[in-house]
Structure 1
Amino acid sequence: MPSSRKKLVVVALGGLAGVAGAWTYFRRRDATDRQPQKKKVEDIDLSLKQVQVIFRHGARTPLHLIPGIEEATYDKKKWRKPFPLTVYDYEVLNIDGKEAPDSKYEEYYNKLGLLKGGCPHGMLTYLGQVQTYNLGRRLRKCYIGKLPGRLMSEFDPDLVYLRTTNMNRTKDSLRCVLAGIFGAEQLQEYNEKNGQKVTFYTSTQEDEHLFPNPHTCPVLKRINRAAIVDGVDLPEFLEERQEIEKVLGLKGNDWKHKIHFISARDDLVARSAHGLPIPKVLVPYVTKITENAVQLFTYSFIGQHELQNDIASNLSSGRMLEQFRNAIRDFVIEKRPVRLFLYSAHDSSLMALLLALKLDDKHWPPFASDLLFELHQCNNSKEYYVIVRYNGEAVVLPKLKKRYVEIGQESAVPLKYFMRYLNEEKVMEAREYRKVCESNILDIIAEEIEKREGLKIEDKEAEEMTDRPAGM
């Protein structure tokens, strides 16, 4: 890392006060030993017990536009209409069962006005509805039906939990995924037969943990800011940013006329997904914009220095992983019978989890991507096993590689090792989360960086502040 960039990293870290010694607290011990597993389990001896799926919403209109080029046209007659196979009645409640809170994010999007063509910013389009419906069809093929080993054959609210962030595109995506799994007609029949609507649950902006949320944690907010606000001036991106600005006729002297790689990628990806042309002047820079955006995206979840990585990653993903762990635990101890969890979330949700579990392949999670946790039980030994899948393909958690066992043509990790790994290294419970978020952990890390590298810590006033997680 060039020393000039390291200096800017440190600059973005100051200003928090709280519990001393938090950095030492996060030097976690190794959760696994190094003994390989020789055991094989026949797949015929396993029964599928539970599936948890967290997925990104489908294709949407852009949240950000690139300055200096003509705005793309998103025709509301083509993209704003509902996909017929996903239409049924549903209601959205707060996670405590009370009335759903207003969405501050939607209020922000409304203030932006309509895009050229009449569509709102960040709206799930017709294409996005089809994508998430197809995700639901894939899930149905794997997990739903009357065949042995399936979770259930029809929708049952006691066995299915439906969770979404409080944004229209994630609510609509959940609607479409559920329709793909159970069928819109069957869901409407359930409504009419039972005199109640299918229920989705959401949370307030201040309490949401289905993505790395800067509103819940000052430390996470500072890490996020260092990437998506101060990151625009990081030396490693400066030359390429200025080259693109020059091509577009931008002077880059103020915030609105600088090229932000994450925002620029957002505009380009939305155009590409919907078959809209990429401006010719930007075609030579698409790859570089994408690569730089992914790097800044990563920084927003794990920080820009190796000493920040563990704490930043735990803050970004630990509360999500806590929810997944609790769902498994409650099922195993017969506290909660839910067999299918659907979490409708964002690219930031998936990227934070992929980075935390060391599954990241340096690619931005595409629209309608999913990360899935299967819980199986051996019929003979009654031991539980976990299989993790990303976009339908089984993946191996690197830290637990030697703990995996063969199950037919696939590999699974015994639940006891999976849970120990989450508990000792990845999960961050509410009390722990608050303690670290209120601490001076970034000051401690900055001092350690200074000690190691001889850097001087300076104060820097950013041009503008943002509270919105990268990529969302």
Structure 2
Amino acid sequence: MFYCLQKKKKMVLAEQREDTGQLMSERHEYELKLVQVIFRHGARTPLKPIPHKEQVEWPPTLLDIPLHTQFDYKVTDLSGGPRPTSPIEKRYREHKLKGGTFPGQLTTVGMQQMFELGARLRRTYVEEFGFLSPSLNPAEVFVRSTNIVRNLESTRCLLAGLFQQQQQNETLKERREKREMGPVAILTCDLNTEILFPNYHGCLGLKHLSSNKMLHAYSQPEISEELQKLQQKMGLEEEKIKEVDFFLLLDNLLAEEAHGLAGSLVLKDMLQQIEQRAIDIIFYVLEPDEREVLQLSVGPFLYILQDNMLQTANGSSATTKSRKLFLYAVHDTTLIPLLTALGIFDNKWPPYAADLVLELYQHQYSKMWFVRLCYKGEEQVLKGCRTALCTLDEFLNRISAYALSPDEYSTLCTQGEQQHPPGNTN
């Protein structure tokens, strides 16, 4: 097993000097230095119900918290101050779904999914390779999440899975030390400055550009006609038809499927078709060859992931040297453009609890740096790299077309707003 649950004793690596060609090398020659895990939250209630008569019930019992997923945490802003307000969460709580729960809330199923992801990370990075300390060491782990409850709670469950056995078996001394450290801090920020998802609130250029492309996508005859047929099959009231699109349908169907709930049979039979249409529209909006929407969607986040690697490689500070794990709680709308920018998107909607792992290695003899990617526990070959273990330079070269520094992001957001005014997006 080599960090992504794939048991391999040897790896074929591209050697930096072209004249020496490829070589076979034992894994122990490569020392793991940094792990970054970007994960989607676990299963949740729908964001908005389908406005038809066959609405599924979402009772509060679906949100019960399993004891083994509990983990003490606090939420702060990026400077360690009070948690910012969350307009998105406030909007969720303005309405209830049939059955009594709020939209967009992590369920018991989702909590278990995240616990299992944490347990998988534990098996790999704690038990098998001893890379992380058995108990949470704040100096080793950095935790970041969007300011949405399902993501914060998903992070809690992942941490419970990652450090579960130590919680159960820790000594009196370790408990005393943990009390002195206090709960683990999950860092977040306000909506306008968030970069862990495509931010249509903080980057009006992205909002206007995406809105225009979304309208164009739905005006494509094939997509438009297919949506109309679906709406007719559902027998929606005239005033409700405009509320229903492929994303609303997919969101509800995937939530129902994850919880084994029976919804519309007509829609369930068309799940695969609905998913493909949602992906088609996303790709129409992202338009990877044009780069602009991809840059504004995940460019600042790619810049941070890149910077974490460079700081580790440069060993610029004591904090950098001790940091081993970065955890980022994101969304499906983050993973799709991120995977697309990396050239490894599998054309399937990211499932609940999907994870993308970026591992940074150093060769013990040549002192060269390498990057390895895994998506949903499976090794990926980065586009532009010859093997799964990619040189850091090759990795940086791949993402250079999309990564944006804060200043570059601000400039592009402003330019996009001027070039794509809001008049055509209503």
TM-score by length of 2: 0.87
- Offset of 1:169 from its aligned partner? 0.3
Unaligned 5+ residue runs, structure 1?
1-31, 405-410, 447-458, 463-472
Residues 232, 238 of structure 1: 8 Å contact kept: yes
In the alignment, is residue 209 of structure 1 matched against residue 191 of structure 2? no
In the alignment, the residues of structure 2 paired with residue 58 and residue 415 of structure 1 have an alpha-carbon distance, to the nearest angstrom, of: 31
SS at match of 1:399: coil
CA contact (8 A) 1:213 1:316 kept: yes
Counterpart Cα distance in 2 of 1:434 and 1:169: 28
Alignment match, 2:46:
62
Give the one of 238, 248, 258 matched to 1:273.
Answer: 258
The answer to whether the Cα contact below 8 Å between 2:55 and 2:98 also exists between their aligned partners in 1 is yes
CA distance, structure 2, for counterparts of residue 213 and residue 442 of structure 1: 17
TM alignment of 1:302-381, pairs within 5 A: 302-303=286-287, 309-334=290-315, 335=317, 336=320, 337-381=322-366
Q: Matches of 1:427 and 1:206 in 2, distance apart? A: 19
Query: In 1, Cα distance between the equivalents of 2:19 and 2:196?
Result: 34
Aligned pairs for 1:168-247 within 5 A: 168-183=149-164, 185=167, 189=175, 192-226=178-212, 228=214, 231-247=217-233
Deviation at 1:39, TM superposition (A): 3.8
Amino acid of the structure 1 residue aligned with 2:164? G
Matches of 2:121 and 2:46 in 1, distance apart?
Answer: 27
Equivalent in 379, 382, 389 of residue 412 of structure 1: 389
For 2:21 and 2:294, locate their aligned partners in 1 and report how far apart those are by CA, in whole Å.
28
Could you say what secondary structure the match of 2:344 adopts?
coil
Matches of 1:249 and 1:199 in 2, distance apart?
48
Q: In structure 2, how many angstroms separate the alpha carbons of the residues matched to 1:208 and 1:71? A: 33
Paired residues of 2:144 and 2:186 also in contact (CA < 8 A): yes
CA distance in 2 between counterparts of 1:191 and 1:288 reads 53
The offset of 1:68, in angstroms, is 2.3
The offset of 1:72, in angstroms, is 0.5
- Look up the equivalent residue of 1:271 and give its one-letter code: E
* Change over 3 Å in CA distance of 1:114–1:236 after alignment to 2: same
CA contact (8 A) 2:208 2:417 kept: no
The equivalent residue for 1:94 is 77
Using the alignment, how far apart are the partners of 1:35 and 1:365 within structure 2? 40
Structure 1 counterpart SS, 2:328: strand
Paired residues of 1:50 and 1:151 also in contact (CA < 8 A)? no
Instruction: Give the deviation of 1:236 after TM superposition.
Output: 2.7
**Distance across 1 between alignment mates of 2:215 and 2:75:** 33
- Percent identity of equivalent pairs: 32
Q: Judging changes above 3 Å, is the alpha-carbon distance between structure 1 residues 119 and 381 closer, same or farther for their aligned structure 2 residues?
A: same
Q: CA RMSD in A?
A: 2.7
- The equivalences for 1:2-151 within 5 A come to 38-77=22-61, 79-111=62-94, 113-145=95-127, 148=129, 150-151=131-132
Contact 1:61 1:121 (8 Å CA) reproduced? yes
Instruction: Tell whether the 8 Å contact from 1:144 to 1:154 is kept in structure 2 after alignment.
Output: no
**SS of aligned partner of 1:398:** coil
In structure 2, stretches of 5+ residues that fail to align are 1-15
Decide which of 240, 244, 254 is 1:259's aligned counterpart: 244
Q: CA deviation at 1:191?
A: 7.1
Q: 2:253 and 2:19 mapped to 1: Cα distance?
A: 47
Higher relative contact order (CA 8 A, sep 6+): 1
Tell me, yes or no, if the aligned pair for 1:261 and 1:290 is still in contact at 8 Å.
Answer: yes
1:425 to 1:76, Cα distance in 2 relative to 1, 3 A: same
**Deviations 1:16-40 (CA, angstroms, capped at 9, x unpaired):** xxxxxxxxxxxxxxxx9x9995244
Aligned residues: 401
Are residue 165 (structure 1) and residue 146 (structure 2) matched? Answer: yes
Q: Assess, with a 3 A threshold, how the Cα gap between structure 1 residues 108 and 234 changes in structure 2: closer, same or farther.
A: farther
Contact 2:40 2:331 in 1 (8 A): yes
What is the CA-CA distance between 1:250 and the residue it aligns to?
3.0
Which sits farther off after the overlay, 212-221 or 345-354?
212-221
CA distance in 1, matches of 2:425, 2:59: 40
Cα deviation 1:405-424 (Å, max 9, x = unaligned): xxxxxx301122222333x3
Do the aligned partners of 1:250 and 1:258 also contact (CA within 8 Å) in 2? no
In structure 1, the partner of 2:410 is 434
The amino acid that maps onto 1:45 is E
CA distance in 2, matches of 1:426, 1:440: 15
8 Å Cα contact 2:342/2:398 also seen in 1:
no
Cross-structure match for 2:10: none
Confirm or deny: 8 A CA contact 2:71 2:157 kept in the other structure. Answer: no
> Are residues 157 and 365 of structure 1, via their aligned partners in 2, closer, same or farther at CA, if it must alter by over 3 Å?
same
Distance 1:50 1:221, change over 3 A: same
- Corresponding residue number in structure 2 for 1:25: none
Secondary structure of 1:329 counterpart: helix
What per-residue deviation string (whole Å, max 9, x for no partner) do you get for residues 424-445 of structure 1? Answer: 323111111111111158849x
Q: Report the Cα distance in structure 2 between the residues aligned to 1:321 and 1:366, rounded to whole angstroms.
A: 21
* Structure 1 residue 190 displacement after superposition: 6.9
Name 2:236's counterpart in structure 1: 250
Compute the displacement of 1:280 (Å): 2.3
Secondary structure of 2:162's aligned partner: helix
Change (3 A) 1:362 1:47: same
* Residue range with higher mean Cα deviation, 151-160 or 284-293: 284-293
Q: Aligned partners of 1:62, 1:231: CA distance in 2, in Å?
A: 24
Cα 1:144–1:219 change in 2 (3 A) is same
Deviations 1:111-154 (A, max 9, x none): 1x221222110000000000000000111111113x55523332
